[in-house]
Amino acid sequence: MRKPFIAGNWKMNMGLKETASFFKELTALQANASGKVDAVICPPTVSLNAACSNSPASLRVKLGAQNVHYEDNGAYTGEVSTTMLKEVECEFAIVGHSERRQFFGETDAVINRKVIKCLADGIIPIVCVGELLDERKEGVHFDVVKLQVSDVLKDLTAQQVSGLVIAYEPVWAIGTGETASPEQAQEMHAFIRKELVGLFGDKTAGQIRLLYGGSMKPSNAEELLKKEDVDGGLIGGASLSPDSFTELITIAETISA
Ligand code: PEP
């Protein structure tokens, strides 16, 4: 049984004050959380410290970064290392988000280096894959995602990848209000799981959590999360409010009970 996973991607939202008040409110809302769901918030890099210092030990919500570099240090203006992330208690990092691919030119080869670095340094990557609208219209979405999965996980062993998290995010559903249907999400998740079986074997493929991302919110989460291979969500807009983030955790908890 895979533990449900709810991750919030704040993108370029929420400065220091907003982050501090979000975590204070979240701490109150999560006072009786069961811990049956892995819940993670990924603030902008500059707000990670505020998130860290406003997360009491009792808060079961963990921290993730939105990006990470594959080198330890050096002349990489604007980048952040795994060591720096660990200093602010980051346990996760989103790697290869479609916005990083689209606006910052990240390729599968770069994403692969980041995944390898995270795993070597004890940060769990939340690796994003997903097709563009045109690719779905052309009917090549399975080919696109298959290639992304094998390229971003290249040169890794079953043991290395068993703890990682993959987010299937159809690009046409991110921030658009348009969600993949539960059937479309399940179909692609089952396909990814089958690819993982081929690459790493049954046991490991059965351990990797597959998140759906793309306009997930409290009103549509239940039907998505009920699907067999949808183990959680990567959530943008609906993670910006402590209330809706808490609602999403509660929905995931109820389904897994
Ligand atoms: C995302 O940021 O990965 C995302 C899925 O955003 P949204 O939920 O706003 O579509």
How much distance in Å is there from the Cα of 239 to the middle of ligand 1? Answer: 9
pLDDT of residue 179: 87
Q: Which atom of ligand 1 is nearest to the CA of 173?
A: 10
Candidate list 99, 131, 169, 195, residue with the active-site label = 169
Candidate list 97, 135, 189, 195, residue with the active-site label = 97
Ligand 1: residues within 6 Å at CB? 9, 11, 169, 174-175, 213-216, 234-237
**Which residue type does 132 have?**
L
- Cα–Cα distance measured from residue 163 to residue 156, given in angstroms and rounded to the nearest whole number: 12
pLDDT of residue 69: 98
Cβ(38)–Cβ(8) below 8 Å: no
Q: Which atom of ligand 1 is nearest to the CA of 11?
A: 2
How much distance in Å is there from the Cα of 20 to the middle of ligand 1? Answer: 22
Strand 165-168 to 61-65 pairing: unpaired
pLDDT of residue 90: 97
pTM of the predicted model over 0.95: yes
pLDDT of residue 235: 98
Nearest CA to ligand 1 atom 1: 236
Q: Which atom of ligand 1 is nearest to the CA of 215?
A: 10
pLDDT of residue 59: 87
169 is catalytic: yes
pLDDT of residue 230: 98
Q: What is the pLDDT along the chain (257 residues), one digit of tens a residue?
A: 899 999 999 999 999 999 999 999 999 998 888 889 999 999 999 999 999 999 988 888 999 999 999 999 999 999 999 999 999 999 999 999 999 999 999 999 999 999 999 999 999 999 999 999 999 999 999 999 999 999 999 999 999 999 999 999 999 999 888 889 999 999 999 999 999 999 999 999 999 999 999 999 999 999 999 999 999 999 999 999 999 999 999 999 999 88
How much distance in Å is there from the Cα of 206 to the middle of ligand 1? Answer: 25
